[in-house]
Amino acid sequence: MIVYPAIDIRGGRCVRLSQGRDDARTDYYKDPVEPAIQFAQAGAEWIHVVDLDGAFGGAPLNLPTLQRIAALGPKVQFGGGMRDRAIAEAAYAAGASRIVIGTRAATDPAFLREMAKAHGPRLAVGIDAKDGLVAVKGWTAVTALQATDFAKEAGELGVSTVIYTDIATDGMLTCPNWKSLEAVLRACPCGVIASGGVAGTEDVARLAQMSRAYPNLVGAIVGKALYEGRCDVAGLLQACR
């Protein structure tokens, strides 16, 4: 199971939101490249980068920062405002090894199929759930689509990786929503990366153990726990082993 240390960018800074709320934001670094350097030096294979400006505004604004992070060595999984092919191609050109689409994927199955066919494992679908329903547009709108149904559909459309985030736990350091994650793992025919609520090494160790029962649990995204000093990348990597 792969650990993805997370960097969320808002207004050019490295920040964390609580439950996806822009009014519950904590700034950690003026330059998002600073934590990326630390993660790379600690041995991270991947870094998960979210352009929150793009998620809220509809188009990414931080591709130059993506380019600087990608130059450090680890692969970069990049999302936020990936709502058409031209934007996706720009993200790849800036150094993204995998892009994450969310809003457009949930609302346009034809687009999702097209992107999955074109990019294969270089594409992931972000499924962000509030009370089991898919949220879009930077989590500001909730659809009637069940997260489990969307996970199943994404796999059937050719998607190889899904990133599942439970919004209620995201940024709260309360541990993942184990029940909802297990439901998605049962429904999803492709790889799942767990996101939201990881409070430290013990949660990652539990996810690694869970991956024995669910081999499609292939990764875990860790954000706030790292910035609050509750764990470090080296310890998380060890927990996965």
- DSSP per-residue letters across the chain: -EEEEEEEEETTEEEEEETTEEEEEEEEESSTHHHHHHHHHTT-SEEEEEEHHHHHHSS-S-HHHHHHHHTTSSEEEEESS--SHHHHHHHHHTT-SEEEE-HHHHH-HHHHHHHHHHHGGGEEEEEEEETTEEEETTTTEEEEEEHHHHHHHHHHTT--EEEEEETTTTTT-S---HHHHHHHHHH-SSEEEEES---SHHHHHHHHHHHHH-TTEEEEEE-HHHHTTS--HHHHHHHH-
**What type of residue sits at position 77?**
Q
Cα separation, 125 vs 108, in Å, equals 12
pLDDT number for residue 23: 87
Tell me the percentage of the chain whose pLDDT exceeds 70: 100
Q: What mean pLDDT do residues 67-93 have?
A: 96
Cα separation, 26 vs 18, in Å, equals 8
Q: What mean pLDDT do residues 154-182 have?
A: 95
Classify each residue of 124-145 as buried b or exposed e, where b means 16 or more C-beta atoms within 10 Å of its C-beta.
bbbbbbbeebbbbbbbeebbeb
pLDDT number for residue 119: 96
Query: Is the pLDDT score of 16 beyond 90?
Result: yes
- Known catalytic residues are 8, 128
Output phi, psi for 158, to 5 deg.
105, 5
Q: What is the pLDDT of residues 60-79, one digit of tens each?
A: 999 999 999 999 999 999 99
Share the mean pLDDT of the chain.
96
At 34, is the pLDDT very low, low, confident or very high (cuts 50, 70, 90)?
A: very high
